[in-house]
Structure 1
Amino acid sequence: MQDNKNIQWPEVLAPIAAAHPRKRQIHGDTVIDDYYWMIDYFKKGQRSAEVIDYLTAENTYTAAMLKETESFQGDLFREMKSRIKEKDESVPYFKNGYYYYSRTEEGNQYFKFCRKKGTLDADEELLLDIDHLAEGYAYYAAKGFSISPDNRLLAFSVDTVSRREYAVYIKNLETGEIYPDRIANTEGAAIWANDNQTLFYTAKNPVTLLSEKIMRHTLGTDVSTDVSVYEEKDNTNYIAVGKSKNGKYIIISSEGTLSSEIWLLDADLPNNDFKVFQPRRNDVLYTIVPLQDRFLILTNDDAINFRIMQCPLDKTDREHWTIFIAHRPDVLVSDIEEFSSFLAIAERKDGLTQLAIYDLNSQEQHYLDFGEVAYTVYPGINVEYNSEKLRYGYTSLVTPSSVYEYNMGDRSKTLLKQQEVLGGYDQSAYKTERIYAVARDGARVPISLVYKEGTQLDGTAPLLQYAYGSYGASMDPSFSSNRLSLLDRGFIYALAHIRGGEEMGRLWYEDGKMMRKMNTFYDFVDCGKCLIEQRYTSPDHLYAQGGSAGGLLMGVVANIAAAQYQGIIAQVPFVDVVNTMLDETIPLTTNEYDEWGNPNESDAYFYMKSYSPYENIEPQEYPNLLVTTGLHDSQVQYFEPAKWVAKLRTVKTGNSILLLKTDMDYGHGGASGRFDYLKEIAMEYAFLFKLEGINR
Structure 2
Amino acid sequence: MNEHLPHSIRSVAPELPVKHQHHGVTRVDPWHWLRERENPNVLAHLKAENTHTENWFARTGNLRDEIYQDLIGRIEQSNCSAVYPKGDYFYQSRIRKGQEYRAYYRKQRLIKGDWELYFDANEESRGEAYFDLGLLDISPDGNILAYSIDTAGEESYILRFRNLATGEDLPGRIENTCAEGEWDASGKNFYFVMEDETRRPDRIYRHRVGTNPGDAELVYTEADPLYYASIYKSQDSQFLFAVSESKETSEIHFMEAHIAKGKFQILFPRRPSIQYSVDHHEGHWLIRTNEDAPDFKLLRLPVNETGLQTAEVMVPPSDKVRLNDLLVLKDFLLLFEQTGGLDRIRVKSLRGEPEHFIEMPDPVYDLQESINAEYDTNFFNFTVSSPIRPSSTFRYNLKTRQSKLLREAKVPSGHDPERYTTYRINATGEDGVRIPVTVVHLKALGMDGSHPLYIHAYGAYGETVECGFRTSWLTWLERGFVVAIAHVRGGGLLGESWYQDGKLEKKENSFRDFIACADCLIEKGYSKAGKILIEGGSAGGLLVGAAINMRPELFKAAVATVPFVDVVTTMLDPSLPLTTIEYEEWGNPQEPEVFRRLLAYSPYDNIRETEYPALLATAGFNDPRVPYWEAAKWVAKLRKNQKGKNPILLKTNLDTGHSGASGRYEYWKEIAAEQAFLLTAIQPLDVPGS
TM-score by length of 2: 0.97
Given the alignment of the two structures, is residue 161 of structure 1 paired with residue 152 of structure 2, yes or no?
yes
Given the alignment of the two structures, is residue 177 of structure 1 paired with residue 168 of structure 2, yes or no?
yes
- 1:161 aligned partner, one-letter code: A
Question: Offset of 1:181 from its aligned partner?
Answer: 3.0
For 2:141, the equivalent position in structure 1 comes to: 150
Cα deviation 1:116-148 (Å, max 9, x = unaligned) = 101696211110111111111111111311111
Structure 1 CA distance for aligned equivalents of residues 684 and 574 of structure 2:
45
Seen in structure 2, the aligned counterparts of structure 1 residues 315 and 70 have a Cα distance that, compared at 3 Å, is farther
Instruction: State the SS of the aligned residue for 1:400.
Output: strand
Structure 1: which 5+ residue stretches go unaligned?
Answer: none
Instruction: State the SS of the aligned residue for 1:559.
Output: helix
Question: Are the equivalent residues in 2 in contact too, given 1:346–1:378 (CA < 8 A)?
Answer: no
Question: Offset of 1:293 from its aligned partner?
Answer: 2.7
Moved over 6 A (4+): none
Given the alignment of the two structures, is residue 193 of structure 1 paired with residue 184 of structure 2, yes or no?
yes
Question: Are the equivalent residues in 2 in contact too, given 1:344–1:356 (CA < 8 A)?
Answer: yes
Structure 2 CA distance for aligned equivalents of residues 649 and 565 of structure 1:
17
Given the alignment of the two structures, is residue 418 of structure 1 paired with residue 418 of structure 2, yes or no?
no
Structure 2: which 5+ residue stretches go unaligned?
Answer: none
Seen in structure 2, the aligned counterparts of structure 1 residues 121 and 489 have a Cα distance that, compared at 3 Å, is farther
For 1:620, the equivalent position in structure 2 comes to: 610
Out of 316-325 and 71-80, give the one that drifted further.
316-325
Structure 1 CA distance for aligned equivalents of residues 295 and 287 of structure 2:
14
For 2:115, the equivalent position in structure 1 comes to: 124
- 2:631 aligned partner, one-letter code: P
Instruction: State the SS of the aligned residue for 1:489.
Output: coil
Seen in structure 2, the aligned counterparts of structure 1 residues 283 and 688 have a Cα distance that, compared at 3 Å, is same
- 2:96 aligned partner, one-letter code: E
Structure 1 CA distance for aligned equivalents of residues 226 and 369 of structure 2:
29
Question: Are the equivalent residues in 1 in contact too, given 2:80–2:93 (CA < 8 A)?
Answer: yes
Out of 111-120 and 32-41, give the one that drifted further.
111-120
For 1:381, the equivalent position in structure 2 comes to: 371
TM-score by length of 1: 0.96
Structure 2 CA distance for aligned equivalents of residues 688 and 31 of structure 1:
33
Superposed, which structure 2 residues align to 1:425-464 within 5 Å?
425-464=415-454
Structure 1 CA distance for aligned equivalents of residues 509 and 587 of structure 2:
15
Cα deviation 1:83-125 (Å, max 9, x = unaligned) = 2212211011101110011011121111111101016962111
Question: Offset of 1:189 from its aligned partner?
Answer: 2.0
Identity %: 36
Instruction: State the SS of the aligned residue for 2:530.
Output: helix
For 2:473, the equivalent position in structure 1 comes to: 483
Superposed, which structure 2 residues align to 1:301-312 within 5 Å?
301-312=291-302
Question: Are the equivalent residues in 1 in contact too, given 2:157–2:177 (CA < 8 A)?
Answer: yes
Superposed, which structure 2 residues align to 1:329-340 within 5 Å?
329-340=319-330
Question: Are the equivalent residues in 1 in contact too, given 2:556–2:682 (CA < 8 A)?
Answer: no
For 2:195, the equivalent position in structure 1 comes to: 204
Instruction: State the SS of the aligned residue for 2:343.
Output: strand
Cα deviation 1:510-541 (Å, max 9, x = unaligned) = 00000000001111010000011111011121
Given the alignment of the two structures, is residue 402 of structure 1 paired with residue 392 of structure 2, yes or no?
yes
Q: How many residues align?
A: 684
Out of 25-34 and 188-197, give the one that drifted further.
188-197
Cα deviation 1:173-204 (Å, max 9, x = unaligned) = 11111011311111122311122221100101
Structure 2 CA distance for aligned equivalents of residues 426 and 120 of structure 1:
41
Question: Offset of 1:11 from its aligned partner?
Answer: 5.5
Cα deviation 1:455-475 (Å, max 9, x = unaligned) = 342111111100000001111
Structure 1 CA distance for aligned equivalents of residues 685 and 90 of structure 2:
47
Question: Offset of 1:330 from its aligned partner?
Answer: 0.7
Question: Offset of 1:316 from its aligned partner?
Answer: 2.4
Structure 2 CA distance for aligned equivalents of residues 447 and 190 of structure 1:
38
Superposed, which structure 2 residues align to 1:191-590 within 5 Å?
191-205=182-196, 207-362=197-352, 364-590=354-580
Seen in structure 2, the aligned counterparts of structure 1 residues 72 and 556 have a Cα distance that, compared at 3 Å, is same
Out of 603-612 and 63-72, give the one that drifted further.
63-72
Question: Are the equivalent residues in 2 in contact too, given 1:86–1:107 (CA < 8 A)?
Answer: yes
- 1:245 aligned partner, one-letter code: Q
Cα deviation 1:388-431 (Å, max 9, x = unaligned) = 11111111101111111111111111221111110221111111
Question: Offset of 1:220 from its aligned partner?
Answer: 2.6
- 2:217 aligned partner, one-letter code: V
Question: Are the equivalent residues in 2 in contact too, given 1:99–1:119 (CA < 8 A)?
Answer: no
For 1:65, the equivalent position in structure 2 comes to: 56
Task: Please report the RMSD computed on the Cα atoms of aligned residues, expressed in angstroms.
Answer: 1.7
For 2:24, the equivalent position in structure 1 comes to: 28
Cα deviation 1:189-235 (Å, max 9, x = unaligned) = 23111222211001012x31110101111123222222211111221
Seen in structure 2, the aligned counterparts of structure 1 residues 430 and 119 have a Cα distance that, compared at 3 Å, is farther
Cα deviation 1:349-391 (Å, max 9, x = unaligned) = 1111111110111163211222422112132211110111111
Question: Offset of 1:273 from its aligned partner?
Answer: 1.0
- 1:651 aligned partner, one-letter code: N
